[in-house]
Amino acid sequence: MTTGPASPMSPRPKNPPPDRRAEILDAALRLFAEKGYAEATNAEIAKEAGVTAAALYYYFPSKEELFRTAVRQHIGRFVPTLRALTAQAPADASGPEAVGMILRNALAFFTEEKTQLVLRIVLAEGPRRPEIRQIWIDQITGIFEFLAPFVMNAIASGQIRPIDPRLIFVLLQGPMLSTVIIRDLLQVPALEGLTNDAVVDAVLETTLAGLRTDG
């Protein structure tokens, strides 16, 4: 099913309205996740944000631009946030300890409400909108590129078995995404109450332990 051209908006106002971009982007993210790109209208987004259609158009001249910005703005801060949080690790932290911190920070980000809204959008729109899928690919690539040096250092120091870093990434990151999709997005009752710490601890005690040379 085609979505057709981006919906036109009202003429841009001559005088700038108060800065309401944050409210507009939050409202757009919620409605795009709930209804999909084709069904969410500019009028609904403006109403949800508590602004006029003219104010919405002032900041986002097209629905397409609003859609891309809403998705990219939140997910685009993941890798910088991960870097900042991981930089707080003790200087003497071992490779496995650093990997554990990265996993905890990653899962905490994935369970944020806005991140899960983006995930819903990517899963729904990604197969037919390559530019949206690419936003997620860029973030996954960023996570891998960030995690790889920790893995390579752990391999070089003899703490982790010499395995292809891509496989290690899949083995460690896979449970994180599975948890978010099954527990949070699909809300499978059997996983209710399963905490982030329990998931990460299990990964560290099984998968990471199996990768360690002293395991």
> How far out from the chain centre does Cα 183 lie?
16
* C-alpha span between 24 and 33 (Å, rounded): 14
The HSE-up count of residue 22 (CA atoms within 13 Å, CB side) is 2
**Residue 1 pLDDT:** 45
**Residue 187 pLDDT:** 94
Regions in the chain scoring below 50 on pLDDT: 1-4, 6-7
Structure tokens given for 14: 């001559």
- State the DSSP H helix or E strand holding residue 134, giving kind and residue range, or none if neither: helix 130-156
* C-alpha span between 211 and 215 (Å, rounded): 7
In this predicted model, what pLDDT tens digit does every residue of 43-84 receive, in sequence order? 999 999 999 999 999 999 999 999 989 988 887 777 777 777
Contact yes or no for 138/77 (Cβ under 8 A): no
**Residue 86 pLDDT:** 65
**Residue 2 pLDDT:** 45
**Residue 24 pLDDT:** 95
* Burial degree of 202 (CB within 10 A; 0-12, 13-18, 19+): middle
Domains of the chain: 21-71 (1.10.10.60), 76-211 (1.10.357.10)
Q: Residue 193 region, left (φ>0) first, then alpha (ψ -120 to 50), else beta?
A: left
